[in-house]
Amino acid sequence: MIQAVAPALVAVASLYLVLGAYGVQLDSKYHSMAVLVALLALLLPRPPRSFQSQFHSGAIPIALGVLGRWMALLVTLLVIGYATKFSEYYSRLAMLTWAVLAPAFVVVVTLALHEIMRRYLLSPSNARRTVMAGCTEASVDLAKRLSRCSEFGMEVVGFFDDRGKDRLNVNGQVQLLGKLSDLAAYIREHNVEVIFIALPVRQVARVMALVEELRDTTASIYYLPDIPLFDLIQARSIVIEGIPAISMCETPFFGYRAIAKRVTDVLISATVLILAAPLMLAIALLVRLSSPGPAIFRQRRYGLNGEEIVVYKFRTMTVTEDGATIVQATKSDPRTTRVGRFLRRYSLDELPQLINVLEGPMSLVGPRPHAVAHNEAYRKLIKGYMVRHKVKPGITGLAQVNGLRGETRNLEQMEARVRYDLDYLRNWSFQLDIVILAKTFYCVFIDAKAF
């Protein structure tokens, strides 16, 4: 509450200080403005912050957030002043001084309150005693992280497991406090406040029995499922009408993310198409003159959710294969035309795919689409291969900027590509897309694998 109210109080206090310094006579107009400033400072939306983010946020992100909200407040005041025609009644010099000085005061007070709260909550005396019911890879890893990050306010005192240290192979890394049957009594006797149950999902009956046994205590209980055994994509917990669920494989593009990604694709692809139109017309003419056949090569590939799409490229070969068997292009492929070699070297043959992006089947950044024939072969050989189709295919991708472009001579190379594609799904962000696009322009000119 103090953190929420403090910026409003500081903004109003600084307003009166500046007015007093300039000798401005206070009247109802300035008092009304002070009330409006306080209301805006309280009502302007703040970005949601998790318990952990309050501790991990550095001074610079916090300061930038405060300044962003301050700019929104000033813009709102200007709009209101313009609409009501009241702005002419206020001292412009005093208002300008306040607009510049007040955010500095607000930033200082916000940072000070953040540090005070952080130091208080991270005090060792506030740490909650915590135990792990089940000694698994996940619970040992969690205990290590909790010991390194005091921000979570938990002190792990030990583990309970029916197996001994010799079977657990922990080599003194953990403190075994007893068997699972001893857990409830230990909780009551030693004032333990948090319990993490880390039993495998297959032991659901044992988990439920343990939870029932712990109902006679006041400890907080968390279940730590052994989901690291699965290949998680965009893992997160959700609640649907009061029913909790854990996402184990989900697309990163849902809700506002999907809209923002699409808007970005349309704006960039449309801009580049307009700028590159003369170059693309010249390339199309060269392709037609260099060898018989169409300028644009169309090939069926798999897109979002494994649905077939038609991908456009400038034709670089004397053939236009799109059947059940497709031979990959090699570095000295005799099917490649002279113009085609140049286009492939600098990835100019991919320019028509900007039309695919504008139409919707593709994105600027995403897993590269493979021919349908190749997809049908690799989906049977590589685990998780089809998961890469949970997003739209891209003109460029994480695998391509990490050296995995061109011919895939063996299964290991395709497996490496798929690993990068799945990493992209796990770790997607706008920053990652920007990095991939920047690296793509660099790779076009220096990557020897382009042919």
Per-residue burial over 185-201, b = 16 or more CB atoms within 10 Å of its CB, e = otherwise: ebbeeeebbbbbbbbee
Please state the pTM of the whole predicted model.
Answer: 0.61
**What pLDDT, on a 0 to 100 scale, did the predictor assign at position 324?**
55
Predicted local confidence at residue 437, as pLDDT: 92
pLDDT computed for residue 326 by the predictor: 58
Euclidean distance between CA atoms 372 and 42, whole angstroms? 56
Lowest mean pLDDT of 59-63, 146-150, 174-178, 441-445, name the range.
441-445
Backbone angles phi, psi at 229, to 5 degrees: -70, -20
Q: How far is CA 386 from CA 193, 303, 307, in A?
A: 44, 10, 11
Residue 400 is classified by DSSP as: G
Residue 292 zone, left/alpha/beta (φ > 0; ψ -120 to 50; rest): beta
- Whether the per-residue pLDDT at 62 is higher than 50: the answer is yes
**363-365/154-160 β-pairing:** unpaired
Q: Helix count (H) and strand count (E) of the chain? A: 15, 11
Confidence band for 105, pLDDT divided at 50, 70 and 90: very high
Domain boundaries, the chain: 2-121, 126-229, 256-446
Region 274-293: what's the mean pLDDT? 92
pLDDT surpassing 50 at residue 246: yes
User: In this model, does residue 358 exceed pLDDT 60?
Assistant: yes
Question: Looking at residue 65, what is its pLDDT?
Answer: 82
What is the full DSSP assignment across 194-228? EEEE---GGGHHHHHHHHHHGGGS--EEEE---GG
pLDDT in tens, 248-259: 778 888 778 888
Mean pLDDT of the chain: 84
The pLDDT assigned to 325 comes to: 54
| Residue 49 banded pLDDT, cuts 50, 70, 90 | low
Q: What is the mean pLDDT of residues 81-96?
A: 82
Q: How confident is the model at residue 164 (pLDDT cuts 50, 70, 90)?
A: confident
Q: What is the pLDDT of residue 53?
A: 52
Instruction: With cut-offs at 50, 70 and 90, classify the pLDDT of residue 448.
Output: low
Helices in 25-58 by DSSP H: which ranges?
28-43, 53-56
Res 245 pLDDT > 70: yes
Which pLDDT belongs to residue 451?
45
Report how far residue 35's alpha carbon sits from residue 41's, in angstroms, rounded to the nearest whole number.
10
126-229: CATH architecture: 3-Layer(aba) Sandwich (3.40)
The set of residues, in sequence order, having a beta carbon less than 8 Å from that of 212 and lying 6+ positions away, is none
Mean pLDDT in residue range 341-364: 91
User: Which of 188-202, 332-346, 349-363 shows the highest mean pLDDT?
Assistant: 349-363
Q: Which range (263-267, 361-365, 438-442, 446-450) has the least confidence? A: 446-450
> What was the pLDDT predicted at 269?
94
Mean pLDDT for the stretch of residues 156-166:
87
Written as one string, the DSSP assignment of 118-143 is HHHHT-GGGPEEEEEES--HHHHHHH
What DSSP element (H or E) covers 408?
A: none
Question: Is residue 17 scored above 90 in pLDDT?
Answer: yes
Dihedral, 37, 42, 47, 49 alpha carbons, nearest 10:
140
% of the chain at pLDDT higher than 90: 27
| Span 265-274, average pLDDT | 94
Which pLDDT score, from 0 to 100, does residue 249 have?
79
